[in-house]
Amino acid sequence: MAKRTIDQVDVQGQRIFMRVDFNVPLQGDQITDDRRIRSALPSIESVLERGGRVILASHLGRPGGNGYEAEYSLEPCAKRLAELLGDKARGGVKFPSHDCVDGAATAAVGMLADGECLLLENLRFHTAEKKNTPDFAARLAEYADIYCNNAFGTCHRAHASMVGVPAAMKGKPKVCGSLVEKEITYLSDALQDPARPFVVVLGGAKVSDKLPAIEHLIPKADAILIGGAMAYTFLKAQGTKIGTSRVEEDRLEDARRIVEKAAEGDCELIIPTDHVCSTTFDEKTGNNKTFKGDIGDGYMGLDIGPDSAAAYDKAIRAAKTIVWNGPMGVFEWSLFAIGTRHVAESIAAATDAGATTIVGGGDSAAAAEQMGFAERMSHISTGGGASLEMLSGKRFESVDLLDDA
């Protein structure tokens, strides 16, 4: 799936429309985690250093789409990006308007000089972004000479800035940034022929969220380790008592089918055998107890137990390729974060021993970062939903529209 990259085109004097993912967490106007902005820097800096004119576009949060909403403004991102770029961006990072396609924004784009950078306001202040309205896409496309997709977190979305703009830029270069290039290398190309043993660790709340990935990966993986609340749907499907644990009743038959499919092939499906439980979904008020096998009445599973963690550790440390998407429990609460911590530590140790380790975005990335293991993983994806869909074998129109290498 090799695609032409921004580093392979001449950008001197050219205007580059670069779709980035600056959908960062905010408290008021303060960014609490700037990892997505930092991840976009290499391609932005590459263009600026080579005399290109950078037009950055992103969404932030979920505004109503009927115009400017202060709480979803990208202005804090413009300020943080200016701090990170320093003097690499001539004149700092321009933030011309509270509308990405009004007269002020258009004029600012027209006045950009070589080595200068601006950030457009939140694309989703217009409903046309999510609807991929042709007129809106065409207005954005008029800004630039080159299109660059550097926003893996939204690659699975058929929005105007992801598919409408490159489709409208007929005859012009359409390339990927280094962030998207890296994601494709790890999440697609590296898994075509993984070094073995190939182990997949899947957690999180819902079987339904992970079902396409599980079905796609069973023929490829040597083992799939299941954790999180989704494990209780599998356990109930096999006749284990799960107390008041979360279960998707409408997915029990799917879970049985997955177990049978894994048994028919060469993939070992490993499900927790013990569980850290509580009588309430609360970190402090419930009665906590660890169960082996059946879970007692009135108790819900909130983390994998020590026996399961040890079994997962053994499988992970023996692997040569590891994919992790989803926590093992309610990792935000210290009492139920132990299983996720064990998995993260095991994956870090496997990486140290030479394994290729790929962490899906979202909660898995947050856990790895929070627990101090992120620097010891081969790759941490910037897109939770996008990484899961790519692991499910889906193609992205936004990537297919880019020029082949």
- Rounded to an integer, the average pLDDT of 20-48 is 94
What pLDDT score was predicted for residue 387? Answer: 83
Cα gap 109→247, rounded to integer Å: 52
Closest by alpha carbon to 332, among 281, 270, 382? 281
What pLDDT score was predicted for residue 384? Answer: 76
What are the structure tokens assigned to 297, written together?
């009445």
- Rounded to an integer, the average pLDDT of 354-382 is 90
pLDDT above 70: residue 244: yes
DSSP state of 98: S
Q: What is the DSSP string of 145-188?
A: SEEEEE-GGGTT---IIIIIHHHHSTTS-EEE-HHHHHHHIIII
CB 187 within 8 A of CB 391: yes
Q: Catalytic site residue 204? A: no
Out of 3, 36, 53, 210, which one is annotated catalytic? 36
Query: For 25-63, b where at least 16 C-beta lie within 10 A, e where not — what string?
Result: ebeeeebeebbbbebbbbbbbbbbebebbbbbbbbbeeb
The beta strands (E) that lie in 21-144 are given as: 26-27, 30-31, 53-57, 93-94, 117-119
Strands 379-380 and 356-359: parallel
Q: Which helix (H) or strand (E) holds 278?
A: strand 274-278
Out of 50, 131, 206, 261, which one is annotated catalytic? 206
Q: Catalytic site residue 362? A: yes
From the CB of residue 385, how many other CB atoms can be counted at a distance below 10 Å?
A: 16
The yes/no answer on whether domain 190-391 falls in CATH 3.40.50.1260 is yes
pLDDT above 70: residue 64: yes
DSSP state of 304: E
Determine whether 326 is exposed, middle or buried from the number of CB atoms within 10 Å of its CB (0-12, 13-18, 19+): buried
Q: Catalytic site residue 239? A: no
Q: Catalytic site residue 67? A: no
Out of 51, 61, 385, 393, which one is annotated catalytic? 385
Question: What contacts 372, CB < 8 A, 6 or more positions away?
Answer: none
**Residues β-bridged to residue 26:** 31
pLDDT above 80: residue 361: no
pLDDT above 90: residue 376: yes
Cα gap 272→309, rounded to integer Å: 8
What pLDDT score was predicted for residue 242? Answer: 97
For residue range 177-216, list pLDDT tens digits in order. Answer: 999 999 888 887 777 889 999 999 999 888 888 888 899 9
CB 180 within 8 A of CB 206: no
User: In the structure, what pLDDT confidence band is assigned to residue 1 with cuts at 50, 70 and 90?
Assistant: low
In the CATH hierarchy, which fold is given to the domain comprising 6-182? Rossmann fold (3.40.50)
For residue range 323-359, list pLDDT tens digits in order. Answer: 999 999 999 999 999 999 999 999 999 999 999 999 9
Cα gap 127→120, rounded to integer Å: 16
The reply to whether domains 6-182 and 190-391 share a CATH topology is yes
pLDDT above 80: residue 321: yes
Please give the share of the chain, as a percent, with pLDDT higher than 90. 84
Q: Where are the domains of the chain?
A: 6-182, 190-391
pLDDT above 90: residue 362: no
Amino acid letter at 273? Answer: T
Residue with tokens 């303060």: 30
Cα gap 306→98, rounded to integer Å: 52
For residue range 219-232, list pLDDT tens digits in order. Answer: 999 999 999 999 99
**Residues β-bridged to residue 88:** none
